[in-house]
């Protein structure tokens, strides 16, 4: 009697074995029975994709269905641009055979690369070098890049940091890293390893 009282306290909906259609030991998933067979079958009867059927332009006879599964393209398929001029496949691969979307309406993640300006002259380069060696603390790469309106990469191509600045930067980095715990250190190492695996493609 005590057990029946305890079950009565629970909501009835959470106890599916009380429903009349299923026995006690049945799993919670629904089972197909005679009454539900037709409905389940109807749901499984999916209309085939349009690419499987014959297109309007093709004749209604024997034809080849080419519908490869979605997957990364193989690297052994050389793009037409990479084929040498004397390769016969270059002329065979026309625009009709390539079905990718028009590349102009795909957005680029970063801004479209502008044209190179070449606006700095040798005197500017000398000035960059003088500033960076005389006061490396004030004139960092980013500040120099901002002042001369070029990229930080260009600054590093023009002149390297002085050894004292490098030593100072190394000490700063060590001080920061000494505060890292095990988790952060391991996460950073894992990130580095993952980044290396991009180049191996695995």
The region of 18-26, 108-116, 134-142, 180-188 touching other proteins under the rule CB under 8 A is: 108-116
Q: How far is 83 from 77, CA to CA, in rounded Å? A: 10
Which CB sits closer to other proteins, 38 or 101? 101
150 in Cβ contact with 156 (< 8 Å): no
Q: Give the number of residues in contact with other proteins, rule: CB under 8 A.
A: 34
When binding is defined by CB under 8 A, the residue of 80, 125, 161, 168 that contacts other proteins is 80
Please list the alpha-helical segments (H only) found in the chain. Answer: 2-9, 37-44, 89-92, 122-134, 141-148, 152-158, 163-178, 182-200
Counting contacts by CB under 8 A, is residue 88 touching other proteins?
Answer: yes
* Under rule CB under 8 A, residue 112 binds other proteins: yes
Stretch that binds other proteins, among 21-29, 46-54, 136-144, 193-201 (CB under 8 A): 193-201
Contact flag: residue 57 with other proteins (CB under 8 A): no
83 lines the binding site for other proteins (CB under 8 A):
yes
Distance between CA 160 and CA 143 in Å, rounded? 15
CA–CA separation, 199 and 202 (whole Å)? 8
From the DSSP assignment, how many helices (H) and strands (E) are in the chain? Answer: 8, 0
Select the residue interacting with other proteins from 107, 121, 178, 182 (CB under 8 A).
107
Nearer to other proteins, 24 or 201 (CB): 201
Using CB under 8 A as the binding rule, whether residue 103 contacts other proteins is answered as: yes
Choices 16-24, 48-56, 76-84, 122-130 (CB under 8 A): range interacting with other proteins: 76-84
Contact by Cβ (8 Å): 158, 150: no
- Contact status: 185 vs other proteins (CB under 8 A): no
Q: Give, in order, the Cα–Cα distances in Å from 65 to each of 49, 94, 145.
A: 12, 20, 57
Give the interface with other proteins as residue ranges (CB under 8 A): 72-73, 75-84, 87-89, 100-104, 106-110, 112-113, 195-196, 198-202
């Amino acid at each position: 009697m005590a057990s029946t009282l305890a079950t009565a306290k629970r909501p009835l909906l959470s106890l599916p074995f009380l429903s009349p259609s299923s026995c006690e030991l049945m799993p919670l998933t629904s089972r197909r029975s005679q009454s539900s067979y037709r409905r389940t079958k109807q749901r499984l009867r999916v209309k085939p994709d349009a690419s499987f059927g014959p297109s309007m332009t093709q004749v209604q006879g024997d034809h080849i269905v080419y519908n490869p599964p979605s997957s990364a393209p193989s690297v052994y398929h050389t793009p037409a641009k990479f084929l040498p001029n004397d390769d016969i496949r270059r002329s065979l691969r026309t625009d009709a055979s390539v079905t990718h979307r028009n590349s102009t309406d795909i957005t680029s993640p970063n801004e479209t690369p502008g044209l190179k300006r070449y606006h700095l002259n040798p005197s500017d380069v000398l000035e960059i070098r003088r500033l960076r060696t005389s006061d490396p603390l004030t004139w960092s790469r980013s500040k120099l890049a901002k002042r001369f309106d070029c990229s930080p990469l260009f600054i590093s191509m023009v002149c390297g940091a002085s050894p004292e600045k490098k030593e100072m930067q190394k000490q700063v980095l060590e001080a920061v890293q000494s505060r890292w715990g095990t988790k952060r250190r391991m996460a950073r190492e894992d990130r580095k390893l993952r980044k290396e695996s991009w180049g191996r493609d695995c």
